Amino acid sequence: MDNRNDIREFLASRRARITPERAGLPTYGGHRRVPGLRREEVALLAGVSPDYYTRLERGNLGGVSEGVLDAISRALQLDEAERAHLTDLARASNAPARARRRPATHRIRPGVQQLLDAMTDAPAFVRNGRLDVLATNRLGRALYAPVFDHPAAPNLARFAFLDARATDFYPDWEDAANTTVALLHTEAGRDPYDRGLTDLVGELSTRSESFRTRWAAHDVRLHQTGTKHLRHPLVGDLKLGFEAMPLPADPGLTLTAYSAEPGSPAQDALRLLASWSAPAEDRLSETEPTR
């Protein structure tokens, strides 16, 4: 296995969206056979030879320097996520064969689970790069109840594309679907030799045309902070802020936690959800009169 096809399609797709006018190049009229920049135009903007850039776009990033990657990124007007993705593609391309296969992490350290359990007012979970949910606290499991109500292991990508309830759970399903695919593409750039990820992409491509179309776009995205809009089957619509934090001691794992604005309907909904998800003995103690 190698990632030359991913490199080729990523660079070609980024080149196709940049017009000469947007790149600041002169135009002389006439018909252009390509929708965006020509390879030689990218080479001119990046300060490399056309032959060298052609070699790069054919998927050969072997030995490419950081300076050249920066120049290509500027020429193609890549954003932060795309720059990081190109760097990941180059790093994976240049990695020694023995270092290319690293098993995805599935174990959660006790300390991480203890941290999750201590977050009683904030839904939180830990996922890997394939979007498998590996651990959660009680409120996080309640928030994502439809994802866990599934015969297979909880995976956010399978839920988004293969579960009919996803379009209700994500009111803005299009954005959720785009984000999901972009995160998987980002992970594929970091580790193109992850067999589990390859199998997941193959499964989703076979079973979902919506996934297949989005995967072909080669979009990537950073997903570190923002607002998540969910429609929970019990408490209704929630607009929650989220923070996604990598776990440095557990490479490849990300802890995502949600919060609601104080005094907002979302905070009331989370409190109701927490009450609903509490063990029966806790709910009973809350209803008993004080003596």
276, pLDDT greater than 90: no
Binning pLDDT at 50, 70 and 90, where does residue 280 land?
A: very low
Q: Which residue has the higher pLDDT, 185 or 28?
A: 185
141, pLDDT greater than 90: yes
Tokens linked to 121: 């007012």
How many CB atoms within 10 Å of residue 133?
A: 20
How far the first Cα of the chain sits from its last, in Å, is 69
Domain boundaries, the chain: 4-99, 110-284
CATH of region 110-284: 3.30.450.180
Task: Describe the chain by its helix, strand, coil percentages, rounded to 5.
Answer: 50, 10, 35
Give the model's pLDDT for residue 102: 56
214, pLDDT greater than 60: yes
User: Which option is the CATH number for 4-99: 1.10.510, 1.10.260, 3.40.50, 1.20.120?
Assistant: 1.10.260
Question: CB neighbours of 156 closer than 8 A, spacing ≥ 6?
Answer: 127, 131, 133, 147, 180
The per-residue pLDDT for range 99-135, each reduced to its tens digit, is: 555 555 568 999 999 999 999 999 999 999 999 999 9
For the segment 272-277, the average pLDDT, to the nearest whole number, is 90
Give the model's pLDDT for residue 225: 95
